[in-house]
């Protein structure tokens, strides 16, 4: 391997990259530098510190530099690495769909703690995006089958790649679907899950560049104070869920009361659950 002319060690590259990203206003400069360097060196992050004085090759430095410059332009780390870890599953990630968020892992956990391992029903994921939620559920519930619905062709193509990589193509089907135009009358579901767009346009305006420039706005922003899509999905859930079927939703910080109100006529056993920051962000309810 060609030595880099400056003989930079691993530790020096971490420090220089972190400082560059810090000056660019990137929120977690050291952590992001470590992720980039570990992906180029094909090592775990902790391993970078086992031999901190190793001199990196010129080729590795070139790759790291290019990726750090991209991150300095506020391109999301997951788009640079082209992957994201969601609930312990490595998924492909790019501009075609929203980057799955860590809080959505809590929604998956809440559902899994309420559904038996032997669940063999049909799950609908409304707004499947990259496929994260439905893939995580079907990998844990080995007898379940799923249908992923999304209005975005781009999202559906990314979800398809992830479903194939995880070997779930026989259990998960995909369908183009717009919940403002289509209905679910033909489908009897046992579990409907959705992390729909729920941001108020004001929240979108104040978002970090990673979100504003690189996430698809149609995946995040909703009318009527962020509640228009949630309201429609609750209506579709009432239409398509079997009696006792479960509806599981992620919603915005201003929505808990609106959610409980909207669920109350057709759903019982309504639970409003908190995220890791103790904010009410999820609802799970049973069709009456
Ligand atoms: C917040 S993203 C969630 C993606 C994925 N489920 C996740 O949790 O990472 C919302 C998804 O809903 C889709 N979507 C937005 N409006 C829709 C509509 N009217 N009908 C169907 N899907 C829609 C978007 O394309 C996007 O993939």
pLDDT tens digits for 221-257? 999 999 999 999 999 999 999 999 999 999 999 999 9
Question: Whole-structure pTM over 0.85, yes or no?
Answer: yes
Ligand 1 atom with minimal separation from the 101 CA? 9
What's the gap in Å between 201 CA and the centre of ligand 1? 16
The finding on whether 128 has its CB within 6 A of some atom of ligand 1 is: yes
The single-letter DSSP state of residue 9 is B
The finding on whether 252 has its CB within 6 A of some atom of ligand 1 is: no
Distances (CA, A) of 55 to 31, 62, 164, 223, 242: 20, 13, 39, 53, 61
How far is 280 from 43, CA to CA, in rounded Å?
A: 37
Q: Which CATH superfamily is domain 98-287 in?
A: Vaccinia Virus protein VP39 (3.40.50.150)
Residue nearest to atom 13 of ligand 1 (CA): 127
For 54-100, how does the pLDDT look when each residue is reduced to its tens digit (9 = 90+)? 999 999 999 999 999 999 999 999 999 999 999 999 999 999 999 99
Tokens of 97: 């769909």
How far is 190 from 100, CA to CA, in rounded Å?
A: 24
Residue nearest to atom 26 of ligand 1 (CA): 219
- pLDDT for position 17: 98
Residues recorded for the chain: 288
Ligand 1 atom with minimal separation from the 232 CA? 19
The finding on whether 222 has its CB within 6 A of some atom of ligand 1 is: no
Distances (CA, A) of 2 to 13, 16, 39, 56, 268: 16, 20, 19, 9, 66
Ligand 1 atom with minimal separation from the 194 CA? 6
How far is 75 from 217, CA to CA, in rounded Å?
A: 16
- pLDDT for position 84: 97
How do beta strands 89-92 and 122-126 pair?
unpaired
The finding on whether 124 has its CB within 6 A of some atom of ligand 1 is: no
At residue 192, φ and ψ (nearest 5 deg) are: -120, 130
At residue 257, φ and ψ (nearest 5 deg) are: -70, -40
pLDDT tier at 216 (50, 70, 90 boundaries)? confident
Helices (H), the chain: 10-23, 29-41, 58-72, 77-81, 102-112, 132-140, 153-165, 201-205, 209-214, 223-226, 228-240, 256-264
What's the gap in Å between 127 CA and the centre of ligand 1? 3
pLDDT tier at 2 (50, 70, 90 boundaries)? low
Asked if 266 contacts 192 with a C-beta cutoff of 8 angstroms, the reply is no
From 98, 160, 226, the mutation candidate for ligand 1 (largest count of ligand atoms within 8 A of CB) is 98
Mean pLDDT (whole number) for 253-270: 96
The finding on whether 133 has its CB within 6 A of some atom of ligand 1 is: yes
Residue nearest to atom 14 of ligand 1 (CA): 127
Bridge partners, residue 199, by sequence? 221
What's the gap in Å between 57 CA and the centre of ligand 1? 42
What's the gap in Å between 219 CA and the centre of ligand 1? 5
């Amino acid at each position: 391997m060609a030595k880099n002319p400056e003989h930079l060690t691993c530790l020096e590259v971490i420090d220089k990259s972190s400082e560059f990203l810090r000056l660019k206003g990137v929120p977690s400069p050291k952590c992001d530098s470590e992720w980039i360097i570990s992906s180029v060196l094909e090592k775990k992050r902790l391993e970078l510190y086992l031999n901190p004085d190793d001199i990196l090759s010129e080729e590795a430095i070139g790759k790291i530099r290019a990726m750090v410059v991209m991150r300095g332009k506020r391109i999301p780390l997951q788009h640079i690495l082209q992957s994201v870890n969601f609930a312990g599953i490595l998924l492909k990630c790019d501009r075609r769909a929203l980057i799955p968020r860590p809080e959505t892992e809590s929604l998956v956990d809440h559902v899994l703690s309420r559904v038996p391992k032997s669940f063999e029903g049909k799950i609908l994921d409304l707004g499947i995006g990259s496929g994260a939620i439905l893939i995580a559920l079907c990998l844990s519930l080995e007898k379940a089958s799923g249908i992923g619905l999304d209005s975005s062709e781009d999202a559906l193509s990314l979800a398809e790649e992830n479903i194939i990589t995880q070997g779930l193509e026989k259990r998960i089907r995909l369908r183009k679907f717009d919940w403002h135009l289509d209905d679910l009358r033909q489908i009897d579901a046992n579990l409907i899950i959705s992390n729909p767009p729920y941001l108020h346009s004001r929240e979108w305006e104040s978002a970090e560049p990673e979100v504003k420039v690189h996430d698809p706005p149609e995946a995040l922003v909703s009318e009527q104070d962020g509640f228009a899509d949630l309201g429609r999905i609750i209506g579709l859930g009432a239409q398509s869920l079997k009696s006792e079927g479960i509806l599981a939703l992620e919603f915005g910080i201003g929505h808990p009361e609106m959610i409980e109100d909207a669920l109350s006529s057709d759903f019982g056993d309504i639970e409003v659950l908190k995220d890791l920051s103790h904010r009410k962000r999820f609802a799970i309810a049973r069709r009456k």
